[in-house]
Amino acid sequence: YEQPRAIKDTYRGRLLADQGIIRMAGIDLNMEKFLNANRIIIVACGTSWHAGLVAEYIFEDLARIPVEVEYASEFRYRNPVITDKDVLIAISQSGETADTLAAIKLAKEKGAFVFGVCNVVGSSIARETDAGAYTHAGPEIGVASTKAFTTQITVLTLMALKLAKAKGVFSESRYHEYLTELETIPNKVEKALESNTLIEIIADVYKDSTNCLYLGRGYNFPVALEGALKLKEISYIHAEGYPAAEMKHGPIALIDEHMPVFVIATKKGHYEKVVSNIQEIKSRKGKIIAIVTEGDEQVKDLADHVIEVPETLESLTPLLTTIPLQLLSYHIAVMRGCNVDQPRNLAKSVTV
């Protein structure tokens, strides 16, 4: 529920009120590093890694810069090819995650320029990186990240917009069109939160599930991963996130009348393809819970439940579609008697 405020603070912290120009010292001062980079490597863990995956779509789609996304916990132990033409972006809510810090050190040793996206001012990652940008989420009280995810995506979107403009991929007017839409997101998140009562009813239906599948395409594939992670982290139900297009390469074998499938099926981006995935699930009697764009009729006829979110640009949809999935995990966890703020076995920052 703090997310409308947190997202607003995140982009407001970077806008000159009078001109709507993004002032983002970290990226402005180091623009050349990004523009001359061979590629961007993004490293992170957990939810922050999912924000990194969304960023891969944003940077490549909007700014046309090649991006690789890696779990910091893998990157640090393999022998990656890194050069001084690479820019590494490390994303971390706490700024203390040991694997992400180790990945930063490795990249710096090889001469890469390292940029941090952190929530905690003065944290170890903020200090170790060459430059960076803070999210303005405020303290994450719970262990499982929620507003950190949406504010990380906000910062990474602003960075991609700056780079798209600097590279000439985006005209001045397209750039401002995006910024204007970004400014509508906090109100649209408020709107998405209004589905809370409906989500509670849906949570009650599926609270005793033992397995769940989450599917999405494009920008919403990482949201499917994040939805599944939230359910695992706080309600201890096994859940898997998958790209919807991969369903036929394996997970389809799991689908029967006992399998709830959460599908992100917003209008912008691959809609018709997702609808055909939904038809495939339905013909195997899977239970379909779909996140759809307001006013959707086609999916409503097919799905067992639909949860609406407002319409926005395709690249901004993760900021809205993730909200009902967070709420759903929350309600299921509460109904199962789990401690949503301090899940068993999980640490707020993994420092070893």
Give whole-number Cα distances, 118 to 34, 184, 218, in Å: 18, 24, 25
Interaction between residue 293 and ligand F1P (CB under 6 A): no
User: What's the CA gap between 258 and 251, in Å, rounded?
Assistant: 14
Interaction between residue 322 and ligand F1P (CB under 6 A): no
Sorted by sequence, the CB contacts under 8 Å of residue 137 that are 6+ apart come out as 2, 6, 9, 10, 93, 119, 147, 148, 151
Tokens of 326: 């967070």
Interaction between residue 326 and ligand F1P (CB under 6 A): no
Query: Which of residues 73, 97, 195, 277 is near ligand F1P by CB under 6 A?
Result: 97
Give, for 43, the enclosing helix (H) or strand (E). Answer: strand 39-44
Query: Between 151 and 349, whose beta carbon lies closer to ligand F1P?
Result: 349
User: What's the CA gap between 111 and 192, in Å, rounded?
Assistant: 43
Question: Strand, helix or coil at 38?
Answer: coil
Query: Which of residues 3, 10, 73, 93 is near ligand F1P by CB under 6 A?
Result: 93
Query: Which of residues 42, 144, 203, 328 is near ligand F1P by CB under 6 A?
Result: 144
Residue nearest to ligand F1P (CB): 46
Tokens of 82: 């890194």
The nearest distance, CB 330 to ligand F1P, in angstroms, is: 14
Query: Which of residues 143, 198, 275, 302 is near ligand F1P by CB under 6 A?
Result: 143
The nearest distance, CB 108 to ligand F1P, in angstroms, is: 18
Known active-site residue 348: yes
Give whole-number Cα distances, 85 to 40, 45, 60, 105, in Å: 9, 24, 17, 16
**Binding segment for ligand F1P among 93-101, 250-258, 266-274, 332-340 (CB under 6 A)?**
93-101
The nearest distance, CB 143 to ligand F1P, in angstroms, is: 5
Question: Strand, helix or coil at 142?
Answer: coil
The nearest distance, CB 92 to ligand F1P, in angstroms, is: 3
User: What's the CA gap between 284 and 150, in Å, rounded?
Assistant: 34
The one-character DSSP state at 237 is -
Interaction between residue 102 and ligand F1P (CB under 6 A): no
Query: Which of residues 4, 26, 46, 260 is near ligand F1P by CB under 6 A?
Result: 46
Interaction between residue 225 and ligand F1P (CB under 6 A): no
59 and 312 Cβ atoms separated by less than 8 Å = no
Q: Which residues are near ligand F1P by CB under 6 A?
A: 45-48, 92-94, 97, 100, 143-145, 346, 348-350
Q: Report, as residue numbers or ranges, the catalytic residues.
A: 348
